[in-house]
A = this chain, B = another copy of it.
Amino acid sequence: MTVDVVTAHNRDMDVTGHTSPGSPSDPGPEPRSDPGPEPRKAASIRDVAQAAGVSYQTVSRVINSHPNVREETRKRVEAAIGTLGFRRNATAFALASGVTRSVTVLTSNTTLYGYAATLQGLEEAARAAGYSLGVKLLTPEEDLDRTVSSAAADGGGLMVIGFDRLAASALDRVPENVPCAAVVEAPSHGRTPPRPAVWADDREAARAATAHLLELGHRTVHYVAIPTSVGTRRSEGPRAQGWRGALEAAGVTPPEPHGGKGWDARVGYDEGRELARDPGVTAILCGNDDLALGVLRALHHAGRSVPGDVSVIGFDDAPHSEFVTPSLTTVRMDFQGLGRDAFALLRSQLENDYRPPAPTFAGTDLIIRESTGPTAV
């Protein structure tokens, strides 16, 4: 396929670390008794109290904007806070108050579009609610129980982006008494996720996309699967189920699905090469836009035109899908909405008086672009 001529350039490092002023390598002229203008250690509530001539409890009242503080006292304390550059120690606050206002996200990926966009939705919701957000990457190498329990020990709640098997088993291992919510693949009928969760209707979206291809006149539709969080066979994910359901509803026997080996364009390319060899293949649904891109590329290399000879539909509506040629027909997903809604589910476990608002998830849309068309006559 693509021949990459790699021209090595700039193998030299240009990475610089500057030692901070006052580092051991620069002892300075002489030890001074004067601590100097820049405070070495962060000011505490007690330092502020002393500077303002009040007790430290009063400082606590001011920083928590308690009503019962005389105006003049407050001013004095605030002035001291300003000059000392005081910032409340979040660790001590968490320990003393018992409220953590932090969540850590467990995810096996941060760069794939669906994951990254979900993460962004989570971040926005967390920030809006005044929570800090931690991220812990799930890897096959590390012991899952250790990873999960160390994340749980960080306090606060846990969010799981459960699009894959690794993340799904992490979700299964979250201890009962740890607040937790997840965004997951649409569960099979009658099954519920082990924890409060949100999901998009992948199954229905895949059904609609497949039906659209059948309506265009294609005799059958092939499927290139993404890995899935459920089952072991690539045909068991909700997108695969929706695809199969649409075919069966039309009286078409579903062909063997492809893929299931990864999320990226290379996998799509490899599967696309196989599909391109079969002249009977005229319509392909892909589990995501990256796979679809690889399939497009493989069809191009095989000399089969899109959509003239073959129609291709992706999934997710990644940002570049509108700008490739041919532009990609795909299913738009509101990952950020999923992230926001999942955060609300977690927050309702963390704060007793918090009721989650109406879900903001926008649903799924089939976006028709250039990569699909009627069958050639």
Contact B40 A177 (CB under 8 A): yes
- CB < 8 Å: which of B110, B155, B361 contacts A119? B110
Contact A9 B364 (CB under 8 A): yes
* Bound Cα distance A19, B195 (Å): 9
Interface size range on A against B: 35 or more
Binds B, one of A52-60, A70-78, A120-128, A224-232: A120-128
Contact B120 A127 (CB under 8 A): no
Residues A13 and B361 in contact in the complex (CB < 8 Å), given A18-B192, A110-B116, A368-B5: yes
Contact B133 A136 (CB under 8 A): yes
Q: Does A20 contact B (CB under 8 A)?
A: yes
Contact A18 B365 (CB under 8 A): no
Output the least CB separation between A28 and chain B (Å).
16
- CB < 8 Å: which of B111, B120, B127 contacts A113? B111
Q: A315 — which chain B residues lie within 8 A by C-beta?
A: none
Q: Does A349 contact B (CB under 8 A)?
A: yes
Q: A319 — which chain B residues lie within 8 A by C-beta?
A: 111, 264-265, 290
Contact B149 A368 (CB under 8 A): no
Output the least CB separation between A203 and chain B (Å).
9
Output the least CB separation between A120 and chain B (Å).
5
| Chain B residue with the shortest CB-CB distance to A272 | B323
Q: Does A375 contact B (CB under 8 A)?
A: no
Contact B16 A198 (CB under 8 A): yes
Output the least CB separation between A324 and chain B (Å).
5
Contact A15 B341 (CB under 8 A): yes
Output the least CB separation between A43 and chain B (Å).
10
Residues A15 and B135 in contact in the complex (CB < 8 Å), given A4-B367, A368-B7: no
* Bound Cα distance A20, B366 (Å): 34
Contact A186 B14 (CB under 8 A): yes
Contact B294 A18 (CB under 8 A): no
Lowest 8 A-B CB distances belong to which pairs? Answer: A265-B323, A87-B153, A14-B201, A5-B368, A15-B198, A111-B116, A11-B363, A7-B366
Q: Could you list which residues of chain A lie within 8 angstroms of chain B, going by C-beta atoms?
A: 2-20, 38-42, 85, 87-92, 94-95, 100, 102, 104, 110-111, 113, 116-117, 119-120, 123-124, 127, 132-137, 149-150, 152-155, 175-177, 181, 186, 192-193, 195-201, 204-205, 208, 212, 264-266, 268-269, 290, 293-294, 296-297, 300, 319-320, 322-325, 327, 338, 341, 345, 348-349, 356, 359, 361-370
7 other A-B residue contacts (CB within 8 Å) besides A17-B198, A116-B116: A5-B368, A9-B205, A10-B363, A12-B201, A20-B196, A290-B319, A296-B323
21 A-B residue pairings within 8 Å (CB atoms):
A4-B368, A5-B368, A9-B365, A10-B363, A14-B186, A18-B197, A19-B196, A38-B177, A90-B155, A91-B100, A92-B95, A110-B120, A111-B120, A127-B137, A133-B136, A265-B320, A269-B323, A293-B320, A294-B323, A297-B327, A300-B325
